[in-house]
Amino acid sequence: MAAGAFAAAPAARAEPCGKPDLVDMVPPDGAVAVPPNATLAAHYTSAADYLGEEVVLVRPDMSEQVLPAMWDATEQRLSATPPQPLEPGTVYEVRWPALRGLNAAAPGVGDNARFTTGTTFDVGQPTFAGLVGLSWDLERINDECVDELVERFVFDINLGPAQDDGGTNGLTLMLFQTSGPTVMDMPRPIPARAWPTDGKSVQVRLSTGDAVGDICFAGIVRDTTGQLSQSGDVEVCVHTTAPPFFRGCSVAGARGGHGWALASLALAALVLRRRTRTR
């Protein structure tokens, strides 16, 4: 798993040491026009581990259905696809469980999402203009996990527009570090997250050892049926320097100089799927 953390900008969601909390849900609570054929998903912090906890769908008649769930440890994603398409124009609720932690006996925090289905099935491939801007800064914080001051690079990444016939509230943003001191032949995945509410920017935090020098990112989006955008060849890059440093400048996105970017991102996404295990 990549060492990076990723959150919607400008505010970063804290991840207390060892807390296996739920981060976000796809679709989110309050979503409307959710495709009847949607796969439901939730993302958890890197401390979470799935031990077969139940994902429960509450149907319109208030009956409860336990859905077969799949856990992807690379994306920290728990997903469930209802065996039959959901009824159009109907309100459902999905209950995401509290998961145990890798280094903690107590479970974290789950959540519920109440959403309304639409009448249109998700059949088309999503479109995404890719990443369009990147700036960076250094963050010094007291890390409760190690009880000492740590330094991390914070990257503010600007997003191009995205569209899908299932709506943007059903999109998942998948970022990859495509250049850096620890990136070898394959792009390095950052744990996936729901498409941000403002649709404009996200933050990625990397340890200084992973983020000094020429640093590049690329991204794709995935819709509720698992289809991927063709945006992996658009990269944003900056050159960072080890502290102490003069503040770096922002850059705009461009077609990547790495000719392998698009194919490698698609391959990386496929590898992520194959790493998924059923519970």
What tens digit of pLDDT does each residue of 12-47 get? 334 446 689 999 999 999 999 999 999 999 999 989
When pLDDT is cut at 50, 70 and 90, the band that residue 10 belongs to is very low
Quick one: pLDDT at residue 224?
96
Quick one: pLDDT at residue 39?
98
Whole-structure pTM value: 0.83
Quick one: pLDDT at residue 239?
94
Q: Is residue 66 scored above 50 in pLDDT?
A: yes
Q: Where are the beta strands (DSSP E) in 110-163?
A: 111-116, 127-128, 131-143, 148-159, 162-163
Rounded Cα distance between 186 and 207, Å, is 19
CB 88 within 8 A of CB 38: no
Q: Is 13 helix (H, G, I), strand (E, B) or coil?
A: coil
Average pLDDT over residues 212-225: 96
Q: Which one of 2.60.40, 2.40.128, 3.30.450, 1.20.120 gives the CATH number of domain 127-278? A: 2.60.40
What residue spans in the chain does CATH classification 2.60.40.3780 cover?
Answer: 13-116
Q: Which two tokens stand for residue 47?
A: 């401390």
Length of the chain: 279
Average pLDDT over residues 47-69: 96
Q: Which two tokens stand for residue 216?
A: 């590049």
Cα-flanking dihedrals φ and ψ of residue 269, to 5°? -65, -40
CB atoms within 10 A of CB 100: 17
Average pLDDT, the chain: 86
Please give the C-alpha separations between residue 198 and each of 72, 184, 195, 223, in angstroms, as whole numbers.
Answer: 26, 33, 9, 17
Q: Is 168 helix (H, G, I), strand (E, B) or coil?
A: helix
13-116 has CATH 3.40.630.10 classification: no
Maximum separation of any 2 CA atoms in the chain, in Å = 61
Q: Is residue 277 scored above 50 in pLDDT?
A: no
CB atoms within 10 A of CB 85: 13
Q: Which two tokens stand for residue 191?
A: 């744990």
Between 123 and 251, residue with greater pLDDT: 123
Q: Is residue 185 scored above 90 in pLDDT?
A: no
Q: Which two tokens stand for residue 99?
A: 């998961």
When pLDDT is cut at 50, 70 and 90, the band that residue 251 belongs to is low
Between 237 and 2, residue with greater pLDDT: 237
Write down the residue that tokens 């991390």 correspond to. 152
Nearest to 227 by CA among 120, 119, 124, 128: 124
pLDDT in tens, 134-152: 999 998 887 666 667 788 9
Q: Is 263 helix (H, G, I), strand (E, B) or coil?
A: helix
Q: Identity (one letter) of the amino acid at 194? A: A
Write down the residue that tokens 């997903």 correspond to. 79
Do you find a cis peptide bond into 196, omega within 30 degrees of 0?
Answer: no
Quick one: pLDDT at residue 195?
97
Average pLDDT over residues 114-137: 96
Burial class (CB within 10 angstroms; exposed 0-12, middle 13-18, buried 19+) of 50: buried
Average pLDDT over residues 195-214: 94
Q: Is residue 61 scored above 50 in pLDDT?
A: yes
Q: Is residue 183 scored above 90 in pLDDT?
A: yes
Q: What is the dihedral of CA 261, 40, 124, 256, to 10 degrees?
A: -10
